[in-house]
Structures are given as structure tokens and as C-alpha cells.
Amino acid sequence: MEFKKHPERIPLHCISVPFIYMMIIPSIILHVFLEVYHTICFPLYGIPYLKTRDYIKIDHQRLSYLSGLEKLNCMYCGYVNGLFHYASMIAALTEHYWCGIRHEKKNNFHSPEHHKDFLEFGDKEAFEKYIRHK
């Protein structure tokens, strides 16, 4: 709710609204394709299915102290941010299944949390040992 501290920016906020809300279309398209991939491929890989409701939470519209517009904004953020978290988890589990090697430590790369269990970049010996014993 940081924006409430800056009423002088209301005109700028109004300009940005269409750019924020136009992202709903690619988000819905992403969600459809993500579900197709998730539903078909995870069982083939033996990866446990993720429940959408564990990642997408839309509940702020029940808060009586929010205006109608604020409730709508919160519903949008709950959906889109939850969807991206859900997509990120599906991608992480897919990466873990297919790869499992960390990226090279260069250029301030922020390694994802799920890489902590991956093999070190460039460690051929660990890679070969893993392949032989798994």
C-alpha cells in the first residue's frame, strides 16, 4: 500500500493502470498452457502434482475496509502473483528433473533457492558419480 503515501502521483498511477491490467491476457494464456504441460508431463516424470490453490490465493475482496477498486486490484494481484509463483515452482521441479546442475557464479546472478541441492557448475566428477549411482 505504498502508493497511498504518494497522492501527488495519482495522475502517474492512472497512466500506468492500463499497462498493469493488460498483463491479465498473457497471464491467462500462460495459465492455460501451464496447466496443459503440468497435467500431461508431471505424471510422465513421476513428479507430484501441485495444487493451484496452494499458490493462488484470492481473499482480500472479503476485507470490508477496502474500497471496491482496492478489492479488484487485490484480486488481480492475488491471481497474477500466485500464478507466477505456481509457474516458478513448476519450472523449478522441471529443472530439477531434467538438469540439476547449478549455473556458473558470475555477474551477480541470483541463484534460485531450489538450486541449493544441485551439482556445482563444472564439477564433472560429481556429475559422473551422480549418473553412475542413480
> pLDDT tens across 3-34, in order?
888 889 999 999 999 999 999 999 999 999 99
State the residue range of the domain holding 81. Answer: 2-98
pLDDT at 134: 60
pTM check: above 0.75 = yes
Number of domains in the chain: 1
Closest CA to 48 of 38, 57, 58: 38
Domain annotation covers residue 111 = no
In a domain, 35, yes or no: yes
Please report whether residue 67 resides in a domain: yes
C-alpha cell, 96 = 530439477
Give 52's contacts (C-beta < 8 A, 6+ positions apart).
35, 86
Give a yes or no: residue 110 inside a domain.
Answer: no
Indicate whether 126 belongs to any domain. no
Q: Please check whether residue 42 lies inside any domain of the structure.
A: yes
Does residue 76 lie in a domain region? Answer: yes
Residue 88 forms part of a structural domain = yes
Residue 54 C-alpha cell reads as 496452494
Place of cell 492455460: 32
